[in-house]
Structure 1
Amino acid sequence: MAESGEMIEDGVFVDIKLTDDEIIQWEFMQQRSIECLLRKKKSLRARFMYGIIFSLVNLVAWFLRDYGQRVSLHFHVLKACGPEGHECFQTMGVLRVSLGCFIFFFIMFLTTCGTSKLYNIRNTWHSGWWSLKLAILLIALVFSFFIPSDYVHLYGEFARVGAGIFLILQLISVIEFIAWWNAYWMPDERKKRSSCCGLFMSTLFYLASLCGIIAMYAMYASKPSCTLNIFFITWTAILLLVMMAISLHSKVNRGLLSSGIMASYVVFLCWSALRSEPAHEKCSPQHDNKHVDWMTVLGFLIGVSAIVMATFSTGIDSETFQLKKQVDQMEDDIPYNYGFFHLIFSLGAMYFAMLFISWNLDSSTRKWSIDVGWASTWVKIVNEWFAATIYLWKLIWPIVRQPKIMNHEEPMQQDQQ
């Protein structure tokens, strides 16, 4: 038995006859396409579930840091928390929650690493089984409160390294995004895109960077005695000039947009570093107010949101870190790298711990504060310098690499002759 159909080809109706096997195969392919689409949607929704879980864990860590002392009486039954439960709140409480979160996401990394197809059982595990995964998370969090304090402190030292790795990966992701944005706004005759938009965006970013430099001088370097802040801001301004000069060099010729965006990002990092200076410092415009006001709470909530967004955006950007770019994606391929996603979240667990304790394992932080202290300031300053270094290296690397390629091709041509 066969069914016929009609198809228009060059204005002529062509009669097509399909056998039963071809019809069954066509229906199977249609059904499979629908199933793949549904599985992809479920996988994409799962990302937000993990983001919500990560946000809630952040809030638990904050509660134990700022208000854990009120419930410390319930911790005295645990030997690991000490006789009065002091080893389970403030800094140690944050580290214990971070450790539990790290264990959970590292388990997810181990169980989803290498997943490539939507019909793999590990895809189902990543996108479903939420009751079991929440149970594993709770067990990991509770288990962290039974670990002796010495081991938790050792994890804190390890978390510093993990948080540093997270910052490096985040920087690479941001720089790749800047490169993509620059390519998007570049003039293109095929897409009928003029250079006016790119020029306008470049001007806007450079004006914002200049205003940021002036504002930082006014707020954080108003006194001649603020030599360290003057150095930070001046060096940032020098970096902006260097990035602009190299971008406009005839051999590089990357335009002003990418360097303008990067300039704004570097200025933001410098401002964030200066803002992390302790409030009691003479060059800090912030007041050491012991009372919590709405600005402090708002700043804290923005900080937590930034942690979650940084972790989420880096986690889904696995293509940036692939050595071999995948050109064609099959219909049943997973929409993003699950293993990399969970690995970033496990590093993000270390990162939020460092921000909550201001990278200092031996002292407590003020309530509703986040990433404040000299350690945080220097981490951000080094982060700024490292970001500028990576960007400059990406600009000059093609020029450095070109002579090596030419020198490699010359012997091959001589051999052929």
Structure 2
Amino acid sequence: MLSDWAIKQLEKITYDYLHLNCQEGTCYGILAIIGWIIFVVASFFIPNQFFMFWGNYIALIGATLFILIGLVLLVDFAHTWSETCIEKWEESDDNKWKYLLIGSTLAMLLTSIILTGIMYNFFAGSGCGLNQFFITFNLILCIIVIFLCITPVVQEANPRSGLSQASMVTIYCTYIILSAIANEPDDNMCNPLTRSRGTRTTTIVLGTILTFLAIAYSTSRAATQTSALDDDDDGHDDEKNGVAYNYGAFHFIFAVASMYVAMLLTNWNNINTTGSEELVIIGQSIVAVWVKVVSSWICLLLYTWTLIGPVLMPERFEVI
């Protein structure tokens, strides 16, 4: 049972993110800690066959779910960012919100063009047909969504849709394609980054940092903003009971995120034997390349649906 002092210290450590209103004799945190230790120790006695099955099927499915959740959150954030800037501008009549929205949109579109040029220059040489396809197909899809978001029929169904959301989705998908081809195996001499050890080491370190920062952001956002994924009212008021998040959704998001990390560290179950002096390369396999590329396509597809959905089914997308 946690004492009042222990509860206050826990709240202080989390900057009051966890606010516990436990009645006397109802906080049994020590039991949870003991249970966790038991499970950790028990995991060492689980047969290897279980972990093989878990990694090949369960963790693979969970990692895929985490990617899909992250893509949904990205599209949602793109719309939220634009709508927030517009609302702030309309409410305060402060032009800084207008300049922020326009400036960020132009910056993201310009960056997307620069990244595309870099990919064509360094990764799309002669004999690199697959890379050329990835880059060109992504460019075509991005151009389609940019023009689609400003068409009159889409603007009529959703007046707040515009270049801001499209630019955010475009730069993200362009970055994903760049990340995919920059970390692919250099079997066809199409990845110059793997030929220089210094560049390779820098790429691995930066790629690892960016990967885990993205995981941390996606996990925290998804776990604490479950209303975007679950609008059902189960009759249980978590906020009234001193909880700032939904327990089930919070732990589910972290569970699938841990599966995603496991897939990254094992190169999506693509095991290669290397020398002990080699760095562990996260995400450098043909499987990881296709996972990233398909993820970018799904992201563009989801955003496209948010544009054409209100046109095709206006009654389902009516803003209340």
Same fold (TM over 0.5): yes
1:191 and 2:92 are equivalent in the alignment? yes
Query: Does the 8 A contact of 2:120 with 2:132 survive in 1?
Result: yes
Deviation at 1:387, TM superposition (A): 0.5
Q: Which residue of 2 aligns with 1:148?
A: 47
Q: Which residue of 2 aligns with 1:359?
A: 268
Q: Which residue of 2 aligns with 1:399?
A: 311
Deviation at 1:148, TM superposition (A): 1.6
C-alpha distance in 1, partners of 2:285/2:81? Answer: 34
Instruction: Go from structure 1 to structure 2 and tell me whether the alpha carbon gap of 1:298 and 1:316 turns closer, same or farther (over 3 Å shift).
Output: same
Instruction: Go from structure 1 to structure 2 and tell me whether the alpha carbon gap of 1:293 and 1:206 turns closer, same or farther (over 3 Å shift).
Output: closer
Q: Which residue of 2 aligns with 1:207?
A: 110
- Aligned match of 2:135 in 224, 230, 233? 233
Q: Which residue of 2 aligns with 1:369?
A: 281
1:285 and 2:192 are equivalent in the alignment? yes
SS in 1 for 2:314: helix
Deviation at 1:46, TM superposition (A): 8.2
Q: Which residue of 2 aligns with 1:16?
A: none
Deviation at 1:268, TM superposition (A): 1.1
What is the aligned residue count?
295
Deviation at 1:202, TM superposition (A): 1.3
C-alpha distance in 2, partners of 1:377/1:48? Answer: 37
Instruction: Go from structure 1 to structure 2 and tell me whether the alpha carbon gap of 1:200 and 1:296 turns closer, same or farther (over 3 Å shift).
Output: closer
Give a deviation string over 1:286-327, Cα, whole Å, max 9, x none. 22578995664454344334333332332222121122489x
Q: Which residue of 2 aligns with 1:271?
A: 178
Q: Which residue of 2 aligns with 1:249?
A: 151
Deviation at 1:118, TM superposition (A): 5.9
Query: Does the 8 A contact of 2:154 with 2:307 survive in 1?
Result: yes
C-alpha distance in 1, partners of 2:260/2:86? Answer: 35
Query: Does the 8 A contact of 2:82 with 2:165 survive in 1?
Result: yes
Q: Which residue of 1 aligns with 2:121?
A: 218
SS in 2 for 1:359: coil
- 1:260 corresponds to which letter in structure 2? S
Instruction: Go from structure 1 to structure 2 and tell me whether the alpha carbon gap of 1:356 and 1:325 turns closer, same or farther (over 3 Å shift).
Output: same
- 1:335 corresponds to which letter in structure 2? A
- Aligned match of 2:231 in 323, 327, 331? 323
SS in 1 for 2:149: helix
Q: Could you say what the CA RMSD is over the residues aligned between the two structures, in angstroms?
A: 3.4
- 1:208 corresponds to which letter in structure 2? T
C-alpha distance in 2, partners of 1:158/1:307? Answer: 19
Q: Give aligned-pair identity as a percent.
A: 26
C-alpha distance in 2, partners of 1:200/1:243? Answer: 20
Query: Does the 8 A contact of 1:359 with 1:375 survive in 2?
Result: yes
Deviation at 1:201, TM superposition (A): 1.8
C-alpha distance in 2, partners of 1:279/1:48? Answer: 45
Q: TM-score w.r.t. structure 1 length? A: 0.62
Deviation at 1:158, TM superposition (A): 1.4
1:340 and 2:246 are equivalent in the alignment? no
- 1:397 corresponds to which letter in structure 2? G
Instruction: Go from structure 1 to structure 2 and tell me whether the alpha carbon gap of 1:294 and 1:177 turns closer, same or farther (over 3 Å shift).
Output: closer
SS in 1 for 2:92: coil
Deviates more, 1:298-307 or 1:174-183: 298-307
Q: Which residue of 1 aligns with 2:158?
A: none
SS in 2 for 1:402: coil
Q: Which residue of 2 aligns with 1:42?
A: 11
Instruction: Go from structure 1 to structure 2 and tell me whether the alpha carbon gap of 1:382 and 1:296 turns closer, same or farther (over 3 Å shift).
Output: closer
C-alpha distance in 1, partners of 2:223/2:171? Answer: 23
Deviation at 1:371, TM superposition (A): 1.2
Gaps in structure 2 of 5+ consecutive residues:
156-160
Deviation at 1:403, TM superposition (A): 7.0
Deviation at 1:193, TM superposition (A): 4.0
